[in-house]
A and B are shown apart, each in its own frame.
Chain A
Amino acid sequence: QQQVKQSPQSLIVQKGGISIINCAYENTAFDYFPWYQQFPGKGPALLIAIRPDVSEKKEGRFTISFNKSAKQFSLHIMDSQPGDSATYFCAAALGGATNKLIFGTGTLLAVQP
């Protein structure tokens, strides 16, 4: 119940295309869903996040879509650029006085020029 399942494991997209990464969870006590981006040789960095009372959040070319009834959420990268090539992790956090995150297994995105 504590797992967050992420797919696909890897993704190749042409420049200008849309990249879509999906995550699913079981525990309805999760109340915060961030996405982290990791470049080679660097630690992950927060990219965008959403709470379950919102169905969509957009920041620039990055959008999170959230389906509470299906317990799924996804990251969409519009107009994908070679500079977006990185590993992306979805995560989920339990509500209350905790900052503990459960991470997905990661998606390696390659955007071809």
Chain B
Amino acid sequence: DVKVTQSSRYLVKRTGEKVFLECVQDMDHENMFWYRQDPGLGLRLIYFSYDVKMKEKGDIPEGYSVSREKKERFSLILESASTNQTSMYLCASSKQRYSNQPQHFGDGTRLSIL
């Protein structure tokens, strides 16, 4: 089974801090994604990556950056955390760059910015 592991289930940070969310997948998948999930808004794509050192903006990239130095690891960075970034963050991976490839999700990191 594909395993997508997010480093923290819960995280509490302060406004202005630099925050790192880490995600690791163990199936040699090409593609990795970061979403945020908010009630009534569904899942919204922040950034995604089709290869090491490559990244593409999703629908809501403002205030975020990403890093993919190794194929299995995809990091989401909040450069200067703000209260409106309090949310559930989900990482996903998929095998190939085609529309019908299922995305496999981690169990999420619930981030609170105080």
When chains A and B are docked, how far (Å) is the Cα of A94 from the Cα of B72? 25
B92 within 8 A of A: yes
User: Are B103 and A101 neighbours in the complex by a CB distance under 8 Å?
Assistant: yes
In this complex, the interface size class of chain B, counting residues with CB under 8 Å from chain A, is: 20 to 34
A8 to chain B minimum Cβ distance, whole angstroms, is 12
Q: How many A-B residue pairs have CB under 8 A?
A: 64
Interface of A is mostly: loop
Residues of A within 8 A of B31 (CB): 99
Find out whether the CB atom of B42 lies under 8 angstroms from the CB atom of A98. no
- Give the A interface residue count (CB, 8 A): 28
Is residue A95 contacting chain B, with contact meaning CB distance below 8 A? Answer: yes
Q: Are B98 and A46 in contact (CB under 8 A)?
A: no
Contact across chains for A41 and B107 when beta carbons are under 8 A apart? yes
Among the listed A49, A95, A100, which residue makes an inter-chain contact with B58, where contact means beta carbons less than 8 Å apart?
A: A100
